Structure 1
Amino acid sequence: MGIYKVNLYKQLSHFYVGRKDYKNAYNLFIIGSNLIGSYDAPSRSGKLNSVEKELMMARKDLELRNDRNKLIFVSVLLIILFILICVLFQLFRVNRKSRKLVEQENDRIRAELEKLTDELAKNNYSEKDLSRYNLTERQLEIIELIKAGKSNKEIAAELFISENTVKYHLKIIYSLLGIDNRVRLK
């Protein structure tokens, strides 16, 4: 506001000089000059500089905080990524171990199945073995035809009986021999 007053006194001084009233022009010029001296431009400039410095410091502080927050965010993201990789690696290892265990179990079951198949082939029901089960002549005929690879329909046609009768005889044979299907008869 002080600069406006100084300018006002200068303008009034010029106005009075233009009217040739030198006394009022001189007095207004002196008042304006005194106001210029009282107007503290360097102090105000210093205050502006200090405000500007404070703003710059606040801006740098904000930038530092922003950089620190970015660093924290990236660090947390990297830690989460590392943990995720570790978990995936552990899952991979567990999966690989369980797959090996399943393969071993499959191999064991396969070996046991082959062993049982071999035993079954060795213990194939022959004529001597069947004699101890007190089977009828018709049941023995049906067993021989099954060993020959004939179906129930073919057996029924050859023996001149119905398919249901063949099924009935097979049911009795299975229960006497303690087996559950015709494959074990072959």
Structure 2
Amino acid sequence: MFSGHVNNVAYVRYAETARVNWARNIGTHVDRANKKAWINLLGSTGVGLILKSIKIDYKFPMTAPDKISVYHKLSHPPPAASSPASSSYSSFQLDVLILSEAHQRPAARCHEDIVTYDYQLGRKVKTLPPFMMDQFRKTWELQEESRRTWGLKVKEIEHRVRGLETASWDRADAVEDMGSSGS
């Protein structure tokens, strides 16, 4: 088993493998009606996905052995079906979080720019296939709903913490315990 520093190029592999699993899982578990089309995006025989660019912000140097979790989400909302921009929406961006299980913290954050490419025609596709656009719109709405839900929970926790601070520190008779250094 490998042990030691995880090379930076490994993070690109982690993101790529997770992106492939992300697309496969959408077809397998979310959009079963278009499963074959989602799976075909992963090959090079028809319309496929190509990583145009990736930006990685490393948060700390991981060492092996370590287990990771990798999460993808859409960076931006896809245009509405009625929008003129939807006819020229040929790429999409994903935000990626790579978590170290051993350290219980982010090891890296990535930003991927993905284009759709027609391997038979040998060129970039002018617009994402309709099944992708539909699913991306649904996914964006779910992301936003989750963001709102968890945002409210975070605000509630912050409110409770502030209440504890107010009750214990923001009093005229509050005294900080200096421990042994105060004597």
TM-score (norm 2): 0.28
Between structure 1 and structure 2, the one with the greater Rg is 1
Name the structure with the higher helix share.
1
TM-score under structure 1 normalisation? 0.28
Q: Which has the higher contact order (CA 8 A, sep 6+)?
A: 2
